[in-house]
């Protein structure tokens, strides 16, 4: 039997996704949320995440931020469908001698985020762990069934957009892990994007209601990896323009300082929790105006959908094209956070 | 700051249960399921459980049974409200070098149980663990809001019932942990109750629809501990009859062999996943007939609700009464499963 590392997270998910589901399940494994029929007009959305100490967060990560992040990244999954989050359950496996004050601070962060987004924490399970702290959240939401934005609707000619800027969270993680020094302002910006991701909930809902978005997901593993999911489920391919990636100034300075290719890191870095979506070219201008007018974070066109070829191509300024390396975040292939 | 062991699981839950929830949450932390308003007639039920290797299951526990149990004990929570389970999400934290075949077998057990109870597995999260295997399930169900059986409705004079027999799962656990030898038939019975608990779903639904049940929950930590939750939330007390506890013959033989007090172990042993419920005395005979006629597992009257005193009293055959010791299962105060 192969071990888990050799088949990887996605290999395993593909294996279990083949089990049949009843008709009430409009979308099961393979999108940001499961989508379940609730009535003739409404669907229920469900998403879940497990976070493990030493894998997803450091032992000395401030617990308020951790509580915020646990909920915020799941609200981001609901946002990626265009829905409204309503309630969550939280499970904790806690090492016996863990400081009880730590958990109180974790819940303070969790509740602060929950109250802001009108999410009710309705229950959970608390148990003992012999080693690491393990957190799990399951978040439920709802929306009109006609407005759901799946990953599977992108079509040839659609333009590819991303909200906000890319790579900041990867920069923030590197600041902590590699102990890189930067000026205070840049440091604050990058760390905030890594520690306190802000789900693009209202933007997701607004985009979904326009009916112009053909596919949407959130950027959790990096655009290079995430866009592949849209391509696979929509059975199309894509071309990205390297010079059009939205990069923040602090991130550009970070890449310069650490001698890294900013475009490459922006595309491969995870945990940005921005929205990645495709729009029919006829509607693109309208939607751009709408987003600008409503004072949402910027949305940037980074490429287009094509039915040519199997690889996602990255076009450089000089017109040369290279297949985009498939480096996304796979927890089974990535070093520890300790 | 106190450590987690000193405040315990229930101390922590009490702390976090004080956070206010919106009106749509009819019941939050403190019952078998959270109950959320869905429409003027329907409610949604949510329950979650985390299982940790070495705490909730042995490293060599057959994975099919583990998959079954993960889902079955949560269906039991839905049964304890009187509802119908619909869909679940599963999270796994897997040690990197874990055999992928183990997870396939775990999912086989999970799917077999899901298919039997018409539960759809709609999604999940798979991640890496540095140490133990950790499993989490969140299960959703629904029911008519007028039929929900909370823990809080028991009243003075109500009779206390339990389904099936008590203590078998504790016997099964002891057989494995303490390597006790018994004849094959007894062994099979006790191990089956521990490894493959059967949720009393149809019984729970039938009882709820009678409108005669004033309080209900499932027996997960042992009646001695679980009945305390009904007493606390209903603000009443209880008297139990020691000689009326329903005990299976294999369990009685197990207690004899291991020189244990059968009544005490039946009351304190966890993981029976039977239903514990209270009925107004006027309705008791009707319900007993209904259950008998429908070929459900036996239901046994084990005591009654009283407004006298703060302790649950255990009455012996000679009429003597002693306060019931509060020994339930608290994961922070119980030895490991390794």
pLDDT tens digits along B154-210:
999 999 999 999 999 999 999 998 999 999 999 999 999 999 999 999 999 999 999
Closest CA to A258 of A195, A185, A181: A181
Pinpoint the residues of chain B covered by CATH 3.30.1330.10: 4-147
Q: Would you state the pLDDT for residue B96?
A: 82
Say yes or no: A93 contacts chain B, CB-CB below 8 A: yes
Reported as a single tens digit per residue, the pLDDT across B286-318 is 999 999 998 888 999 999 999 988 789 999 999
pLDDT band at A158 (very low <50, low <70, confident <90, very high): very high
Tell me the pLDDT band of A329, cut-offs 50, 70 and 90.
very low
B126-144 pLDDT, tens digit per residue, is 999 988 999 999 999 999 9
Could you tell me where in chain B the CATH 3.90.650.10 domains are found?
159-323
Distance from CA of A110 to the nearest CA of B (A): 11
pLDDT at A338: 47
* pLDDT(A148) > 50: yes
Encode pLDDT of A309-326 as tens digits: 878 999 999 999 999 876
Compute the distance between CA of residue A168 and CA of residue A191 in angstroms, rounded to an integer.
8
Q: Please, which residues have CB within 8 angstroms of residue B125's CB and are 6 or more apart in sequence?
A: A48, A49, A50, A136, B89, B91, B92
pLDDT at A18: 81
Identify from B126, B139, B329 which residue to disrupt to test chain A contact, counting A C-beta atoms within 10 A and taking the largest count.
B126
**Contact (CB<8Å) A100/B4:** yes
Task: Kindly state the tokens that stand for A111.
Answer: 């509740």
| Residue in this structure with the two tokens 């310069």, named with its chain if needed | A256
Q: Do A121 and B28 touch (CB under 8 A)?
A: yes
Pairing between strand A313-315 and A237-241?
Answer: parallel
CA dist., res. A84 & res. A259, Å (int): 41
Neighbours of B330 (CB within 10 A): 17
Considering only residues 285 to 314 of chain A, which have any Cβ-Cβ distance to chain B shorter than 8 Å?
Answer: none
In CATH, the number for domain B159-323 is 3.90.650.10
Interchain CB contact of B17 with A (< 8 Å): no
Q: Are B265 and B256 in contact (CB under 8 A)?
A: no
Lowest-confidence range among B1-15, B99-113, B230-244, B280-294?
A: B1-15
In angstroms, what CA-CA distances link A84 with A78, A115, A119, A148, B25?
Answer: 7, 14, 9, 11, 16
- Band (B338; pLDDT cuts 50, 70, 90): very low
Residue A242, CB-side half-sphere exposure with 13 Å CA sphere: 18
CB contact under 8 A, A130 and B127: no
Is pLDDT of A335 > 90? no
A-B interface: how many C-beta pairs under 8 angstroms? 241
DSSP state of A179: T
What local confidence, expressed as pLDDT, does residue B283 receive? Answer: 97
pLDDT per position as a tens digit, A212-244: 999 999 999 999 999 999 999 999 999 999 999
Pseudo-torsion of CA A14, A16, A20, A24, nearest 10°?
-90
Rounded CA-CA distance B95/A330 in Å is 14
Distance spanning both ends of chain A, measured CA to CA: 30
Token pair belonging to A283:
């509607």
CA–CA gap between residue A238 and residue A303 (Å, rounded): 7
DSSP summary character for residue B258: T
- Average pLDDT of chain B, as a whole number: 92
The whole-angstrom separation of Cα B248 and Cα B319 is: 24
Cβ partners under 8 Å of residue B187, min gap 6: B175, B250
Per the document, the length of chain B is: 338
Interface-testing mutation among B18, B90, B128, B142, with chain A (most A C-beta atoms within 10 A): B128
In contact, B270 and B221? CB cutoff 8 Å: yes
- Share in percent of chain B as helix, strand, coil (round to 5): 35, 25, 35
Q: Residue A196 pLDDT > 80, yes or no? A: yes
Q: Please, which residues bridge with residue A305 across strands?
A: A238
DSSP A268: H
Residues B89-111, mean pLDDT to the nearest whole number:
90
The domain made up of B4-147 has a fold known as 60s Ribosomal Protein L30; Chain: A; (3.30.1330)
Q: Is the CB of residue B45 less than 8 Å from the CB of residue B113?
A: no
Residue B122 touches partner A, C-beta closer than 8 Å = yes
Q: Are B182 and B175 in contact (CB under 8 A)?
A: yes
Residue pLDDT, tens place only, B252-273: 999 999 999 999 999 999 999 9
pLDDT of A336 > 70? The answer is: no
3-state helix, strand, coil in chain A (%, to 5): 40, 25, 35
Residues of B in contact with A113 (CB under 8 A): none
For residue B118, the model assigns a pLDDT of 97
User: Which helix (H) or strand (E) element contains residue A330?
Assistant: none
The answer to whether residue A331 scores a pLDDT higher than 80 is no
| B interface test, pick of A25, A55, A80, A100 with most B CB neighbours within 10 Å | A100
Mean pLDDT of the A197-208 span: 97
């Amino acid at each position: 039997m192969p071990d888990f590392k050799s088949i990887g997270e996605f290999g395993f998910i593909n294996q279990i996704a083949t089990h049949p589901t009843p008709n009430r399940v409009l979308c099961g494994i393979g999108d940001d949320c499961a989508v379940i029929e609730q009535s003739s007009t409404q669907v229920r959305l469900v998403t879940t995440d497990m976070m493990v100490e030493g894998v997803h967060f450091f032992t000395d990560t401030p617990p308020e931020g951790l509580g915020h992040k646990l909920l915020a990244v799941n609200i981001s999954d609901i946002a990626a469908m265009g829905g409204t989050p309503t309630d969550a359950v939280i499970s904790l496996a806690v090492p016996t001698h863990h400081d009880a004050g730590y958990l109180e601070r974790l819940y303070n962060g969790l509740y602060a985020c929950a109250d802001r987004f009108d999410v009710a924490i309705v229950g959970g399970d608390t148990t003992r762990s012999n080693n690491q702290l393990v957190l799990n959240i399951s978040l439920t939401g709802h929306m009109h069934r006609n407005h759901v934005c799946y990953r599977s609707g992108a079509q040839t000619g659609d333009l590819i957009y991303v909200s906000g800027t890319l790579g900041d969270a990867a920069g923030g993680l590197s600041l902590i892990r590699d102990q890189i020094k930067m000026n205070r302002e840049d440091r604050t910006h990058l760390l905030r994007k890594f520690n306190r991701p802000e789900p693009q909930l209202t933007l997701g809902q607004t985009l979904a209601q326009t009916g112009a978005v053909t596919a949407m997901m959130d950027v959790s593993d990096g655009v290079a990896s995430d866009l592949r999911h849209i391509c696979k489920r929509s059975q199309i391919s894509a071309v990205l323009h390297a010079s059009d990636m939205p990069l923040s100034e602090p991130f550009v300075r970070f890449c310069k300082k650490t001698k890294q290719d900013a475009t490459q890191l922006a595309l491969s870095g995870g945990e940005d929790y921005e929205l990645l979506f495709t729009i029919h070219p006829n509607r693109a201008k309208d939607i751009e105006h709408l987003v600008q007018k409503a004072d949402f974070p910027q949305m940037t066109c980074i490429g287009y959908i094509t039915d040519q070829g199997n690889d996602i191509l990255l076009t450089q300024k000089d017109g040369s094209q290279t297949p985009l390396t498939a480096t996304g975040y796979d927890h089974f292939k990535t070093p520890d956070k300790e």
